Structure 1
Amino acid sequence: MLQETNSSQKPYIVIATLSSIVIGFLVWLIYFKTPAAASGEWVASLPALNALLNSVCFVFLVSGYFLIKMNKKAAHIMCMLLATISSFLFVVSYILYHHFHGDTKFLATGTIRYVYFSILISHIVLSIPLVPLVLSTLWNAFKKNYSAHKKFARITFPIWIYVSITGVLIFLILNNFNL
């Protein structure tokens, strides 16, 4: 029994380790790394791409939620895979942007500054546990451990929805008030 428990915990140890590495890398990338020189204006278009990918992820997440409620498992799986792929592509684009551009400063003043930072801080705080939650939810689905998958999904889904939609809001606020 002890061996079975240890082997069932190995994926979570791997997920926790991988998540820690990813999160540590992102902190270093955003706050400590000097931006690289970029050639071309493609870097300036990455925040819009990031917002688009967050929007796409949101649509797939909501669609997948309703599909599983209608017991359409194959369509649910497809939507969740597409949400995961769009999130992965977001992370790649996000890394590229911060590699070449660095952190974006918010210069607006007044009430919008408080609104922006409230959204941004909650977005960042919730995106940290999202990495291991998504990986754990997907792992349990892949292993057909639907009981654990459902338990993780009940926590993962609202956080993933929130992080996706606030990512779009952050982009919109930056583009409309950070002039």
Structure 2
Amino acid sequence: MGQTAEEKKYNKWIVVLSVVIPLVVAALFGVNLRKLGYDVEPLGFLPPIYATINGITAVLLFWAVLAIKKGNRKLHERLIKLCVCCSVAFLGMYVAYHMTANSTPYGGEGILRPIYYFILITHIVLSVIIIPFVLITYVRGIAGSYERHKKIARITYPMWLYVAVTGVIVYLMISPYYVH
């Protein structure tokens, strides 16, 4: 079975958002308002908040899968909408923090250092790759293409869960090195 008309109308948005979001985040990540002379307070309180949001996203994703396995489609849909909202909130806070604060270098040594960078790099790469997967999966669900939704969700779910969980791990590993 091919795409529904409803899915087709979202295709351009999926492509645009899948390209624009990473590009805008990368561009804004390189902009530090304080270094540009703007008198803004660093938003140092945000990292524990957006790490918590990542943790909440992971729990909600797990709960959403349990809900659909029990046949509760409405709860599943609501939980996934919350996950999307959490991811958008995370992204906004993440960019805001990095636009107002200096980057924190990882200070760990020994075996933790390569582990940290492996987790960080895979987290970043998958956080870009996951965007079209989440959008396609979401659109297939709201369009009622449940078999096609289920097929891609089997790929999207573990990737999205990995990004959410590793976001928390990265925060926990780097948090001792934040300058307050």
TM-score (norm 1): 0.87
Change (3 A) 1:56 1:73: same
- Cα drift, residue 27 of structure 1: 1.5
> What amino acid maps onto 1:110 in structure 2?
G
Match of 1:33 in 2: 31
Which one has a larger percent helix, Structure 1 or Structure 2?
1
Q: State the secondary structure of the residue aligned to 1:87.
A: helix
- Contact conserved, 2:6 with 2:143, CA < 8 A, in 1? no
Q: What CA RMSD, in Å, does the superposition of the two structures yield over aligned residues?
A: 2.3
Residue 35 of structure 1: CA displacement? 3.7
Structure 2, unmatched stretches of 5+, are none
CA shift, 1:8, in A, is 5.5
Q: Which residue in the other structure is 1:14 paired with?
A: 13
Match of 1:175 in 2: 175
Query: Displacement of 1:83 after TM fit?
Result: 1.2
Normalising by structure 2, we get a TM-score of 0.87
Where in structure 1 are there 5+ consecutive unaligned residues?
A: none
The question of whether the paired residues in 2 share the 8 Å contact of 1:130 and 1:159 is answered with yes
Amino acid in the other structure paired with 2:23: G
Return the offset for 1:38. Answer: 5.8
Which amino acid is 1:97 matched to?
A: Y
Q: 1-side partners of 2:134 and 2:15: how far apart? A: 11
Q: Which moved more, 1:106-115 or 1:68-77?
A: 106-115
Identity between Structure 1 and Structure 2 (%): 30
